[in-house]
Amino acid sequence: MPRIVRLSDVWRMLDHCLPGYEAVEKPHRWNVRFNGRVYHRIPLGPHGARHNPETETGHIRGLVNFFGIPKSCYEQFLDLR
Protein backbone atom coordinates (compact mmCIF):
# COMPACT_ATOMS: atom_id res chain seq x y z
CA MET A 1 0.00 0.00 0.00
CA PRO A 2 1.36 3.45 -0.84
CA ARG A 3 2.10 5.66 2.13
CA ILE A 4 0.08 8.85 2.33
CA VAL A 5 0.32 12.34 3.79
CA ARG A 6 -2.41 14.86 4.41
CA LEU A 7 -2.42 17.74 1.95
CA SER A 8 -3.15 20.15 4.80
CA ASP A 9 0.25 19.16 6.26
CA VAL A 10 1.87 19.63 2.85
CA TRP A 11 0.46 23.16 2.59
CA ARG A 12 1.64 23.96 6.14
CA MET A 13 5.12 22.72 5.20
CA LEU A 14 5.16 24.81 2.02
CA ASP A 15 3.91 27.89 3.88
CA HIS A 16 6.99 27.61 6.06
CA CYS A 17 9.61 26.14 3.70
CA LEU A 18 8.63 27.64 0.33
CA PRO A 19 6.94 30.98 1.04
CA GLY A 20 5.38 32.50 -2.03
CA TYR A 21 4.35 29.20 -3.59
CA GLU A 22 1.00 28.87 -5.30
CA ALA A 23 -1.16 25.74 -5.14
CA VAL A 24 -3.32 25.47 -8.25
CA GLU A 25 -6.32 23.20 -7.89
CA LYS A 26 -7.33 21.07 -10.87
CA PRO A 27 -9.94 18.31 -11.02
CA HIS A 28 -8.69 15.54 -8.68
CA ARG A 29 -5.17 16.95 -8.51
CA TRP A 30 -2.98 19.94 -7.66
CA ASN A 31 -0.10 21.76 -9.33
CA VAL A 32 2.42 23.69 -7.23
CA ARG A 33 4.05 26.76 -8.76
CA PHE A 34 7.03 28.71 -7.47
CA ASN A 35 9.36 31.16 -9.22
CA GLY A 36 8.02 30.20 -12.64
CA ARG A 37 8.51 26.48 -12.05
CA VAL A 38 5.70 23.93 -11.78
CA TYR A 39 5.43 20.58 -10.02
CA HIS A 40 2.63 18.80 -11.88
CA ARG A 41 -0.32 16.66 -10.96
CA ILE A 42 -0.17 15.87 -7.27
CA PRO A 43 -3.15 13.53 -7.22
CA LEU A 44 -5.67 13.28 -4.45
CA GLY A 45 -5.41 10.04 -2.51
CA PRO A 46 -7.79 7.10 -2.48
CA HIS A 47 -10.46 9.01 -0.59
CA GLY A 48 -10.73 11.66 -3.26
CA ALA A 49 -11.82 15.24 -2.88
CA ARG A 50 -13.11 15.05 0.66
CA HIS A 51 -12.33 17.40 3.52
CA ASN A 52 -8.64 17.27 4.42
CA PRO A 53 -7.65 14.98 1.53
CA GLU A 54 -4.46 12.92 1.26
CA THR A 55 -1.88 12.17 -1.39
CA GLU A 56 0.82 9.53 -1.80
CA THR A 57 4.04 10.38 0.00
CA GLY A 58 6.25 9.80 -3.05
CA HIS A 59 4.70 12.72 -4.91
CA ILE A 60 5.77 14.98 -2.07
CA ARG A 61 9.26 13.46 -2.02
CA GLY A 62 9.44 14.43 -5.67
CA LEU A 63 8.16 17.93 -4.91
CA VAL A 64 10.63 18.73 -2.12
CA ASN A 65 13.53 17.51 -4.25
CA PHE A 66 12.29 19.48 -7.26
CA PHE A 67 12.15 22.75 -5.32
CA GLY A 68 15.27 21.97 -3.28
CA ILE A 69 13.50 22.18 0.08
CA PRO A 70 15.94 21.08 2.78
CA LYS A 71 15.12 18.03 4.85
CA SER A 72 15.74 20.03 8.00
CA CYS A 73 12.76 22.17 7.02
CA TYR A 74 10.20 19.72 5.64
CA GLU A 75 10.77 17.10 8.32
CA GLN A 76 9.34 19.52 10.88
CA PHE A 77 5.97 18.95 9.22
CA LEU A 78 6.11 15.69 7.30
CA ASP A 79 7.56 12.20 7.57
CA LEU A 80 8.55 11.42 3.99
CA ARG A 81 10.55 8.26 4.66
Partner 1 sequence: MTAETDLAIGTKLPIIFSYRDALFGNNFVVEVHARNGRALCAREEDGFWMYGVNPGGMSARGDDIESAHAAFRQMFSDILKDLATDASGLDEFRTLVRTFFDDTNVGFEPEWLEAVRAIRNHEINPGTDIPRGSADAPRDITVEIKRIFKAEDNEADLQPALAA
Complex with partner 1: residue 62 or 77, whichever CB lies closer: 62
Confirm or reject binding of residue 55 to partner 1 (CB under 8 A): no
Complex with partner 1: residue 1 or 52, whichever CB lies closer: 1
Stretch that binds partner 1, among 12-20, 46-54, 55-63 (CB under 8 A): 55-63
Confirm or reject binding of residue 35 to partner 1 (CB under 8 A): no
Q: How far apart are the C-alpha atoms of 2 and 31, rounded to whole Å?
A: 20
| CA dihedral sign of residues 42, 46, 48, 51 | negative
| CA dihedral sign of residues 65, 59, 56, 24 | positive
